[in-house]
Copies of this chain bind each other. A is one copy, B any other.
């Protein structure tokens, strides 16, 4: 049964200064929310950790959630956008390159729920067919099931 779609976005080579800046990250997250017509419930939560100063942001959405974690010590920024109703894509790659100076952005899409019918994908165990533009290994393992 489908329970929506999650985008897992991992950006490497980001500017350490920019990903320590919660205002930059807030602008980015709010752009995602506005462009995709998402609805925020309550106040988002932002936290800046002690040096090296990683930042976490969490938005509770009517559609599920948007989260952001940054690791200035390694130049990484990661985002989760989970939507339980269909939403158009956001151009993560372009915007992360522009706003955070990311060198490499990988966007993975996961259908949530215990079945995979959300996109009408064939019932196959050949995950290589699910890769569209990036041939790198995606480490994803199912560890329990019915």
Contact = CB atoms under 8 A, between A and B. Distances in A.
Contact of A113 (B12, B65, B93): B12
Interface in A1-52: 1, 3, 6, 8, 10-12, 41-42, 45, 47, 49
Given A3-B76, A74-B1, A115-B136, A107 B58 contact: no
B146 A134 contact: yes
B137 A123 contact: yes
Nearest to A131: B142
Interface residues of A, number: 71
Nearest to A77: B3
Contact of A145 (B115, B119, B134): B134
Interface in A46-78: 47, 49, 56, 58, 60, 62, 64-65, 67, 69, 71, 74-76, 78
Contacts of A113: 10, 12, 76, 78
